[in-house]
């Protein structure tokens, strides 16, 4: 990561990604955008037991939506579900246990969900992981890549037929502003070469999520895809970067503030009036690149990422 990119990103962050920046941006929000009922619509949210995922589930449940919480830890998930039901009075909240780093199980879960449920209106890819050291899953894939990229790809692709059968289908992926310092690189997807820096690996995966969203939007034109940056939020992911969390803790957004754009993209009519495949921050479309940062990738590189993901996905699909 260049010194320029690092400096430009931090300057952008302190002016746009903080709690105060959210409060400033919120002055232009249209309140009626979220004054909607989504009763009868179903929403799948990964990582829904804490942070942005739980705040999103809470906000959508308040508006009558059916919530499918996809979580790794059963106890934490059930506790979060109880909180959501108690606060919203909405009992249409269901827990599904899945570890997105277990690649084959992601596909098996999606296939099982399609058999059991007749519709899914919105998929929210929120779960993410920062690893402190390189680790492999049971299939021999680097765990962070398996969770943040391949798991998201397999879950999304597997659920597309169900989404396409549903009314006003949407897919929202929670990325990170950290991706702004990363250019797409497909030559080291498993982080096998060089020193393993979990924060930079995570940022690269968040860039890959942006590219994935752009590419899926081109091939599945009847689904509205979007990807967003929640700002700097006080969540378990932020806690995984202790130095950053300590230095910025008084400026971090609440999970509810971080979830605001996710909720807006999920339920508002205004969101789907924008083109599919775009990147959002505080309810508006923004650039996926810092000025003069040289992070643009070639169409060839972007296609290579999608081809690798498709090939990997096929190896885990049993017939």
240: pLDDT strictly greater than 60: no
pLDDT of the residue at 236: 65
Q: Which 3 state secondary structure label does DSSP give 242? A: helix
pLDDT of the residue at 19: 94
247: pLDDT strictly greater than 70: no
319: pLDDT strictly greater than 80: no
Which residues are known to be catalytic? Answer: 202
- The packing angle between helices 51-62 and 74-88, to 10°, is 30
pLDDT of the residue at 295: 80
Mean predicted confidence (pLDDT) in 173-194? 93
Helices in the chain by DSSP H: which ranges?
3-16, 19-25, 51-62, 74-88, 103-116, 143-145, 151-164, 198-219, 236-239, 242-248, 255-267, 299-315
For residue 296, give both structure tokens: 């643009």
Mean predicted confidence (pLDDT) in 247-253? 80
Mean pLDDT of the chain: 93
257: pLDDT strictly greater than 90: yes
294: pLDDT strictly greater than 80: no
């Amino acid at each position: 990561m260049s010194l320029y990119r690092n400096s430009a990103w931090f300057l952008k962050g302190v002016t746009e990604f903080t709690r105060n920046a959210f409060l400033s941006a919120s002055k232009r929000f249209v309140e009626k955008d979220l004054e909607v009922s989504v009763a009868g619509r179903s929403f799948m949210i990964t990582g829904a037991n804490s942070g942005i995922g739980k705040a999103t589930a809470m906000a959508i449940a308040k508006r009558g939506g059916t919530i499918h919480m996809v979580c790794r830890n059963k106890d934490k998930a059930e506790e979060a579900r109880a909180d959501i039901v108690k606060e919203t009075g909405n009992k249409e909240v269901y827990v599904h246990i899945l570890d997105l780093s277990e690649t084959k199980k992601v596909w098996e879960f999606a296939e099982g969900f399609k058999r059991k449920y007749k519709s899914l209106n919105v998929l929210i890819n929120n779960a993410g992981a920062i690893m402190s050291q390189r680790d492999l899953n049971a299939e021999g894939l680097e765990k962070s890549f398996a969770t943040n990229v391949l798991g998201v790809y397999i879950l999304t692709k597997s659920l597309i037929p169900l989404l396409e059968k549903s009314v006003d289908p949407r897919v929202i992926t929670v990325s990170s502003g950290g991706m702004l310092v990363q250019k797409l690189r497909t030559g080291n997807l498993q982080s096998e070469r060089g020193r393993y820096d979990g924060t930079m690996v995570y940022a690269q995966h968040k860039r890959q999520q942006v590219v994935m969203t752009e590419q899926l939007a081109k091939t599945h034109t009847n689904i509205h895809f979007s990807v967003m940056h929640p700002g700097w939020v006080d969540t378990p992911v932020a806690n995984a970067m202790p130095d950053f969390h300590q230095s910025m803790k008084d400026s971090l957004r609440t999970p509810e503030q971080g979830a605001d754009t996710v909720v807006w993209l999920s339920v508002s009519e205004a969101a789907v009036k924008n083109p599919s495949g775009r990147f959002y921050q505080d309810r508006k479309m923004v650039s996926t690149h810092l000025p003069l940062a040289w992070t643009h990738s070639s169409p060839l590189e972007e296609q290579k990422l999608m081809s690798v993901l498709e090939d990997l996905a096929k190896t885990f699909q049993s017939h």
